[in-house]
Amino acid sequence: MTKILVIPDVQAKHGNDFNFLTNIGKYVVEKRPDIIVCLGDFTDMESLSSYDVGKKAFEGRRYTKDIDAAVSAQVALFTPIYEYAEQQYRNKKKLYQPECIMLLGNHEQRINKAINNDAKLEGLISINDLKYQDFWDSVVPFLETVTIDGVAFSHYFVTGLAGRPSSTANAQLNKQHMSCISGHQQGLQIATANTADGRRLTSIIAGSCYEHNEDYLGPQGNNHWRGILMLHEVNNGNFDLMPVSLNYLNKKYN
């Protein structure tokens, strides 16, 4: 049966400490999941945020800083995995090579949106600037779905004709009628149900794998769960879920 490690939204920003991503990489080496899925919004792309234009917080933001943050965050995550692979190679042991899948989120989509809004940017900026193709085996376009052993993954799943994201894990389950996991929304929501033949369906919304606080959420809104998910014994939509908090990872590996 398949073991999948899921990384919710990292929203890497210039100036962030990415040691927690290195600790996730160390956890990957220890647990050796078969597949790693990032749910998108790995980078923030705050220089392209239309919400903050004109605000004081927008001062000093630069596209190049956003790109540097995305690359630095990926280096922090994958360095322990690459080092372990080199060690195995030197010792002539079987290499550990998990399949790594990146789902693009709405923050990465800010690049395409900027190009669509200003044609002069075409050819000057691109999703490829993030270097995802150098670290991940596949990069999945925004809102496309990947299904692995009966579990669907997307940055978010839409409800209704307006295309808005499901607001709760239960609404997501009722809409998709299968086990599904998405990011986008901070915190951790879990909903379960059973099919007529006894299969367990699990719907999860987990959109926070970062340590920084978001100003727009305020003191109370930033008090949410942050971490990764381990899906054990994934088979035909069934799996055993193990949330792993960043607090636990930092204590274990620091």
- 97-110 tens-digit pLDDT: 999 999 999 999 99
Band the pLDDT of 1: cuts 50, 70, 90.
confident
pLDDT exceeds 80 at position 81: yes
pLDDT exceeds 60 at position 25: yes
Tell me which amino acid residue 149 is.
D
User: Which pLDDT value is given to residue 220?
Assistant: 62
Q: What is the DSSP letter of 217?
A: G
Report residue 171 CA to chain centroid gap.
Answer: 21
In the CATH hierarchy, which top-level class contains the domain 2-144+215-253?
alpha beta
Q: What are phi and psi of 64, to 5 degrees?
A: -65, -35
Q: What average pLDDT does this structure show over 30-54?
A: 88
% of residues, the chain, pLDDT over 90: 81
Parallel/antiparallel/unpaired status of strands 200-206 and 138-140? unpaired
Cα–Cα dist 236/54, whole Å: 49
Strands (E), 28-79: 35-38
The count of other CB atoms within 10 Å of the CB of residue 131 is: 14
SS3 label, residue 118: coil
Q: What average pLDDT does this structure show over 43-64?
A: 73
Domain ranges of the chain: 2-144+215-253
Cα–Cα dist 193/82, whole Å: 39
User: Which pLDDT value is given to residue 54?
Assistant: 47
Q: What are the tokens at 32?
A: 């050796």
% of residues, the chain, pLDDT over 70: 92
Listed in sequence order, the residues at least 6 apart from 209 whose beta carbon sits closer than 8 Å to its beta carbon are 7, 8, 9, 10, 24, 226, 227, 228, 246
pLDDT exceeds 50 at position 120: yes
pLDDT averaged over every residue in the chain: 92
Strand partners, 204: 181, 190
pLDDT exceeds 50 at position 117: yes
Tell me which amino acid residue 138 is.
S
- 169-220 tens-digit pLDDT: 999 999 999 999 999 999 999 999 998 888 899 999 999 999 987 766 666 6
Our CA angle for 220, 223, 226, nearest 5°, is 155
Token match 């998990």: residue?
98
